[in-house]
Amino acid sequence: MLEMLVVPLRYGFFVAALFVGAATALIAALLGTHLTFKGFSMIGDGLSHVGFGTIAIAVALGAAPLQVAVPVVVLTAVLLLSVKRKLTDAAADSSVAMLSAAGLAAGVIAVSLAGTNFDLNSYLFGSVLAVGEEEVVPILMLCAVIFAVYLVCYPAFFALTFDEEFFEAKTHKATLFRALLASLAAACVVVGMQSVGALLISALLIFPPSAAKHLARSFRGTVVLAGVFSVLCFVVGLFLSYHLSLPAGGAVVLTNAALYLVCLLFGKLKK
């Protein structure tokens, strides 16, 4: 049993994937808690598709993928959340769906233009085990910055999520913090695309808080538990993918789904 845990850790690529994936899973769960309970669950899906399209276009043009994708996706997130504020929920859902489809379509066309230089699968389904050593430190630093900003802004994010009208009356900064939350989420989505891919990143935002809310009583408890669940599911999923020769992204997401079902049942039994 112990050997099953130790053997993969002998490989540098596995350790790198463990650190990068766990850090990404943690910030995705923290930010996802706010997005989920604010009714923005699907925004991760829309943004990841925009990220995919942007990366594909960047590759087709010979530019650095992540350096182009991060600002474009951040800008899209800010615009999307501003639009949602002004439109009805139905129209906002449509705007996320349209953006999602347009992003994917742009990506598909760019991929055909980029030819064989673009690894479609790695961006669609993730390739955390292929994260290069030179990418580990920048990704961990970005995650650390997002985590620090999140901790500092937690009270504002809570108030914004719980009652935006009250928060705006109290601080007159709802738009600013909404944009900040959107920017952090967008950066998280772009980084997370490396771990589980564009098609599965929204799972890291939605599953952990949805599972945690069945066990925690408070919002802070939900945030902490979602973070713990997310990291735990990533680690378990990664080990499962290694030993069962499964795609890492899929294994991580299914582990999250299994934990969600367990928490859902536990929550029902508790009531």
Shortest separation between residue 209's beta carbon and other proteins, angstroms? 9
- Part of the chain binding other proteins (CB under 8 A), chosen from 3-11, 121-129, 136-144, 165-173: 165-173
Shortest separation between residue 14's beta carbon and other proteins, angstroms? 33
Q: Does 121 bind other proteins (CB under 8 A)?
A: no
- Cα 28 to Cα 205, 234, 255: the distances in Å are 5, 11, 16
- Part of the chain binding other proteins (CB under 8 A), chosen from 19-27, 46-54, 82-90, 164-172: 164-172
Q: Does 159 bind other proteins (CB under 8 A)?
A: yes
Residues 6+ apart with CB under 8 A from 201: 28, 44, 45, 48, 189, 192, 193, 195
Residues 124 and 1 sit within 8 Å (Cβ to Cβ): no
* Residue choice 71, 106, 164, 236 for contact with other proteins (CB under 8 A): 164
Helices (H) and strands (E) in the chain — how many of each?
12, 0
* Residue choice 89, 133, 134, 165 for contact with other proteins (CB under 8 A): 165
Q: Does 222 bind other proteins (CB under 8 A)?
A: yes
Residues 249 and 196 sit within 8 Å (Cβ to Cβ): yes
Q: Does 89 bind other proteins (CB under 8 A)?
A: no
H, E, C per residue of 42-69: CHHHHHHHHHHHHHHHHHHHCCCHHHHH
Q: Does 224 bind other proteins (CB under 8 A)?
A: no
Closest Cα to residue 160, out of 19, 40, 29, 5?
40
What b-and-e string marks burial along 12-22, b requiring 16 or more CB atoms within 10 Å of the CB? eebebbbebbb
Q: Does 86 bind other proteins (CB under 8 A)?
A: no
Q: Does 85 bind other proteins (CB under 8 A)?
A: no
Shortest separation between residue 223's beta carbon and other proteins, angstroms? 9
List residues binding other proteins (CB under 8 A): 37, 39, 151-152, 154-155, 158-159, 161-172, 213, 216-222
